[in-house]
């Protein structure tokens, strides 16, 4: 490809809405153009990268025994009603109507469709286990599309679904996919960590996310991990053991009574006023889960993890209540306390759940729904909470102890590029998707599902591999392998050596670009660095001594060598791409 013909326009500035490196660089280097919020055109350079990621994914999925198919992007409502997700999925599901007023949606994921195919085709245990996948555009009307391709509304995903006759068979396929994912990300030049995670809207019990660890804003997930054992989990799923703490306030309060605590709106103010550690305070937090108020109780030195709370009460959507909503809750219960003095006693028409930290608390301090007052020396019986349900609602903190080996946990941030789930019968049961087993009985499939964000993986590769000047693509997914740059297109010798090398590279199966533009060398080098060619061969003045300059983008290393040596290095490197 001639640079003068390459369909690319590099920009001088980063787009103003770009917050993270991959979005900035892919836009500036001419890979993507935004069409509308969360929706991007993949221009030729980007499409080359995406096809390479896709082909690695395809190759490893095929090797792992999965079979590719392609399902429609538009899906009928009826199947979503069968699975129960038409109601449950929430606003991310983009719903629409056709001219006959039939309701449809744009596929955010394809469990319903694949399950309907399976129940028509996979009728006997002899056809199982099996794994089917596709690579396709998905649409999710994300609340906050951002970070370019990392969180778009339309994006490309590989989604696979397995059907088995037993939990053991499912677990074997789960391991098989785990290995395939490890191979895929390795081949893409990406280091990933598999972490335990919450299963979210897809459902099921066991699931792992494949994370690219990063210390940048692009890492939307907090990952807690142990350096001494394998434990690693997304913060929405992580658990920990706590150090000993004072949880019995008996030495401060010898009876249960209500006292004045003026202006103690926060936990800090309250513990300072009473001169007690916050481990003796029961914190009461009001959330809105799917429009209903929920009161969450937790030891006051700890924080509620919203996904855990949402799962505990079986919701799809959660947020902390506003002051107005708290006031309304107070009024509905005949109180008029302001936030800071809320507590569970006497509250009706609200779901109350407690974190496990509450179990051991005795003679504690708690809000009593009266402004400027608290109850001290309280126990759960004083609050009428003998029957309260306990859950793990707590957000883990760095330094708390590993649930598996007891060593202190560390925290880092990660970009989720892939996800594997053990679904069980979550879809097959409600959709009555069954096969005939060897014993002649009809049984629901035991399912798994496995996703990889193709476009997110490509963007994550930029997050993982760049410098101030631009992208440093891993060779396996670079749009082109090498750029040959004659410093002066007017110099006959430079042009003829460059052209010869370029032609030899092409003839050996290397994806090469020659920068034939009549531009200053500085401009050519800048563009080459920004676009991120893994290798650059510069043909300049030293060609009179028989040398070209060979630059490796990943390391910045520059070496003078003969043209044929430079060609050989690139040809060999390309041959060695796995
Ligand atoms: P997230 O928690 O980041 O929203 P998810 O749990 O909703 O992800 P899955 O439903 O498991 O994601 O989808 C499988 C894969 O698709 C993810 O691992 C991710 O790589 C990709 N993906 C999901 N949502 C998006 C998006 N909005 N933009 C780009 N890729 C996405
Ligand atoms: Mg999501």
Q: Is 202 in the pocket of ligand 1 (CB under 6 A)?
A: yes
Give the integer Cα–Cα distance in Å for 368 and 383: 9
pLDDT of res. 565: 98
Residue from 451, 457, 459, 461 whose mutation best tests the ligand 1 pocket (most atoms within 8 A of CB): 451
Give the integer Cα–Cα distance in Å for 207 and 528: 41
Give the integer Cα–Cα distance in Å for 133 and 151: 22
3-class SS at 286? strand
Q: Is 110 in the pocket of ligand 1 (CB under 6 A)?
A: no
Q: Is 419 in the pocket of ligand 1 (CB under 6 A)?
A: yes
pLDDT of res. 15: 87
Ligand 2 centroid, distance to 391 Cα (angstroms): 24
Compute CA distances 540 → 26, 266, 547, 569, whole Å.
29, 68, 8, 19
Residue-wise pLDDT for 254-295, tens only, equals 999 999 999 999 999 999 999 999 999 999 999 999 889 999
Ligand 1 centroid, distance to 453 Cα (angstroms): 6
HSE (CB half, 13 Å, CA atoms) of 201? 20
Q: Nearest CA to 286 among 330, 346, 331? A: 330
Polymer length in residues for the chain: 578
Q: Is 140 in the pocket of ligand 1 (CB under 6 A)?
A: yes
- Residue 210 in contact with residue 177, Cβ under 8 Å? no
pLDDT of res. 200: 63
Average pLDDT over all residues of the chain: 95
Structure tokens at 106: 């744009």
Ligand 2 centroid, distance to 452 Cα (angstroms): 12
Ligand 1 centroid, distance to 357 Cα (angstroms): 32
Give, using CA atoms, the residue closest to atom 22 of ligand 1.
453
Least confident of 130-139, 185-194, 198-207, 386-395: 198-207
Ligand 2 centroid, distance to 477 Cα (angstroms): 25
Give the integer Cα–Cα distance in Å for 533 and 479: 8
pLDDT of res. 412: 95
Give the integer Cα–Cα distance in Å for 233 and 39: 30
Instruction: Name the band, by pLDDT with cuts 50, 70 and 90, for residue 216.
Output: confident
Ligand 1 centroid, distance to 436 Cα (angstroms): 34
Structure tokens at 28: 């500036």
- Residue 195 in contact with residue 208, Cβ under 8 Å? yes
Ligand 2 centroid, distance to 75 Cα (angstroms): 19
Q: What is the mean pLDDT of residues 28-57?
A: 97
Q: Nearest CA to 235 among 219, 217, 226, 222? A: 222
Give the integer Cα–Cα distance in Å for 437 and 441: 5
pLDDT of res. 205: 76
Residue from 456, 457, 462, 463 whose mutation best tests the ligand 1 pocket (most atoms within 8 A of CB): 456
Q: What is the mean pLDDT of residues 498-508?
A: 98
Ligand 1 centroid, distance to 290 Cα (angstroms): 22
Structure tokens at 71: 């399902």
Residues with Cβ within 8 Å of 356's Cβ and at least 6 positions away in sequence, in order, are 390, 391, 392, 393, 394
Q: Is 157 in the pocket of ligand 1 (CB under 6 A)?
A: yes
Instruction: Name the band, by pLDDT with cuts 50, 70 and 90, for residue 202.
Output: low
At 570, phi and psi to the nearest 5?
A: -70, -45
Looking at residue 498, the DSSP 8-state letter turns out to be H
Ligand 1 centroid, distance to 348 Cα (angstroms): 38
Q: What is the mean pLDDT of residues 311-327?
A: 91
Predicted TM-score (pTM) of the model is 0.92
Ligand 1, atom nearest to 109 Cα: 10
Q: Is 160 in the pocket of ligand 1 (CB under 6 A)?
A: no
Give, using CA atoms, the residue closest to atom 24 of ligand 1.
151
Give, using CA atoms, the residue closest to atom 3 of ligand 1.
416
Q: DSSP strand E in 368-445: where? A: 373-378, 389-391, 410-424, 434-436, 442-444
Residue from 416, 450, 455, 459 whose mutation best tests the ligand 1 pocket (most atoms within 8 A of CB): 416
Give the integer Cα–Cα distance in Å for 323 and 337: 11
Ligand 2 centroid, distance to 552 Cα (angstroms): 37
Burial 116-151 (b: 16+ CB within 10 A, else e): bbbbeebeebeebbbbbbbbbebbbbbeebbbbbbb
Q: Is 417 in the pocket of ligand 1 (CB under 6 A)?
A: yes
Q: What is the mean pLDDT of residues 66-78?
A: 97
Instruction: Name the band, by pLDDT with cuts 50, 70 and 90, for residue 204.
Output: low
Q: What is the mean pLDDT of residues 438-464?
A: 97
pLDDT of res. 386: 84
Q: Is 151 in the pocket of ligand 1 (CB under 6 A)?
A: yes
HSE (CB half, 13 Å, CA atoms) of 250? 4
Looking at residue 120, the DSSP 8-state letter turns out to be H
- Counting residues of the chain whose pLDDT is more than 70, the rounded percentage is 99
pLDDT of res. 199: 74
pLDDT of res. 188: 98
Ligand 2 centroid, distance to 432 Cα (angstroms): 27
- Residue 211 in contact with residue 221, Cβ under 8 Å? yes
- Residue 92 in contact with residue 317, Cβ under 8 Å? no
Task: Give 185-223 as a DSSP string.
Answer: HHHTT---EEEE---GGG--S-EEEEEEEESSTT--EEE
Residue-wise pLDDT for 519-578, tens only, equals 999 999 999 999 999 999 999 999 999 999 999 999 999 999 999 999 999 999 999 998
Least confident of 193-202, 320-329, 547-556: 193-202
Q: Is 416 in the pocket of ligand 1 (CB under 6 A)?
A: yes
pLDDT of res. 376: 97
Quick one: how far is CA 306 from the chain centroid?
Answer: 17
Ligand 1 centroid, distance to 366 Cα (angstroms): 40
Give, using CA atoms, the residue closest to atom 4 of ligand 1.
151
Structure tokens at 412: 């880092």
Checking if the pLDDT of 461 tops 90, the result is: yes
Q: Is 214 in the pocket of ligand 1 (CB under 6 A)?
A: no
Residue-wise pLDDT for 407-428, tens only, equals 999 999 999 999 999 999 999 9
Q: Is 108 in the pocket of ligand 1 (CB under 6 A)?
A: no
Q: What is the mean pLDDT of residues 498-515?
A: 98
Give, using CA atoms, the residue closest to atom 28 of ligand 1.
151
Q: What is the mean pLDDT of residues 150-169?
A: 97
Ligand 2 centroid, distance to 169 Cα (angstroms): 28
pLDDT of res. 316: 81
pLDDT of res. 560: 98
Number of helices (H) and strands (E) in the chain: give both, helices first.
13, 31
Instruction: Name the band, by pLDDT with cuts 50, 70 and 90, for residue 96.
Output: very high
pLDDT of res. 95: 97
Give the integer Cα–Cα distance in Å for 461 and 92: 26
Ligand 2 centroid, distance to 291 Cα (angstroms): 20
Ligand 1, atom nearest to 200 Cα: 6
pLDDT of res. 203: 55
The ligand that comes nearest to the alpha carbon of residue 181 is 1
């Amino acid at each position: 490809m001639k640079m003068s013909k390459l369909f690319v326009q590099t920009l001088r500035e980063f787009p103003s809405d770009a917050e993270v490196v991959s979005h900035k660089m892919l836009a500036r280097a001419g890979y993507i153009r935004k069409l509308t919020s969360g929706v991007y055109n993949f221009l030729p350079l980007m499409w080359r990268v995406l096809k390479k990621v896709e082909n690695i994914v395809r190759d490893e999925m095929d090797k792992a025994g999965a079979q590719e198919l392609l399902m429609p992007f538009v899906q009928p409502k009826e199947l979503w009603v069968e699975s129960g997700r038409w109601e449950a999925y929430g606003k991310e599901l983009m719903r629409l109507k056709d001219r006959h007023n039939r309701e449809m949606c744009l596929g955010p994921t394809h469990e319903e469709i694949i399950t309907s195919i399976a129940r028509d085709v996979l009728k006997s245990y002899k056809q199982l286990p099996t794994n089917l996948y596709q690579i396709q555009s998905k649409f999710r009307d994300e609340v906050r599309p951002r970070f370019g391709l990392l969180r778009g509304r339309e994006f490309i995903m590989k989604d696979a679904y397995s059907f088995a006759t037993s939990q053991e068979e499912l677990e074997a396929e789960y391991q098989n996919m785990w290995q395939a994912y490890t191979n895929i990300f390795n081949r893409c030049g990406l280091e990933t960590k598999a972490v335990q995670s919450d299963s979210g809207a897809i459902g099921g019990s066991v699931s792992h996310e494949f994370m690219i660890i990063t210390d940048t804003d692009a890492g939307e997930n907090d990952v807690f991990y142990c350096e001494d054992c394998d434990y690693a989990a997304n913060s929405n799923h992580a658990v920990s053991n706590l150090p000993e703490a004072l949880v019995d306030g008996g030495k401060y309060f010898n009876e249960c009574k209500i006292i004045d605590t003026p202006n103690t709106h926060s936990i800090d103010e309250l513990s300072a006023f009473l001169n007690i550690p916050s481990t003796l305070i029961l914190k009461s937090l009001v959330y809105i889960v799917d429009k209903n108020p929920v009161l969450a109780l937790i030891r006051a030195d700890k924080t509620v993890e919203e996904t855990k709370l949402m799962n505990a009460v079986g919701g799809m959507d959660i947020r902390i209540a506003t002051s107005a909503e708290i006031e309304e809750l107070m009024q509905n219960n005949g109180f008029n306390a302001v936030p800071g003095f809320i507590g569970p006693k006497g509250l009706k028409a609200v779901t109350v759940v407690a974190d496990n930290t509450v179990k051991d608390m005795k003679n504690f301090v708690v809000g009593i729904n009266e402004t400027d007052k608290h109850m001290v020396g309280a126990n759960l019986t004083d609050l009428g909470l003998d029957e309260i349900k306990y859950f793990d609602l707590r957000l883990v903190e760095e330094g708390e102890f590993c649930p598996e080996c007891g060593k202190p946990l560390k925290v880092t941030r990660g970009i989720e590029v892939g996800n594997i789930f053990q679904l069980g019968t979550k879809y097959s049961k409600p959709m009555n998707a069954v096969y005939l087993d060897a014993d002649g009985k009809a049984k629901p499939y035991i399912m798994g599902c496995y996703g990889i964000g193709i476009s997110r993986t490509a963007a994550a590769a930029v997050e993982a591999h760049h410098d101030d000047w631009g992208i440093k693509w891993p060779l396996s997914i670079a749009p082109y392998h090498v750029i040959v740059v004659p410093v002066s297109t007017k110099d006959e010798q430079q042009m003829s050596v460059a052209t010869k090398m370029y032609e030899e590279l092409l003839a050996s199966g290397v994806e090469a670009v020659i920068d034939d533009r009549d531009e200053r060398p500085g401009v050519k080098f800048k563009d080459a660095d920004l676009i991120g060619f893994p290798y650059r061969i510069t043909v300049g003045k030293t060609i009179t001594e028989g040398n070209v300059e060979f630059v490796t983008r990943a390391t910045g290393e520059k070496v003078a060598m003969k043209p044929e040596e430079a060609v050989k290095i690139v040809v060999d490197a390309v041959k060695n791409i796995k």
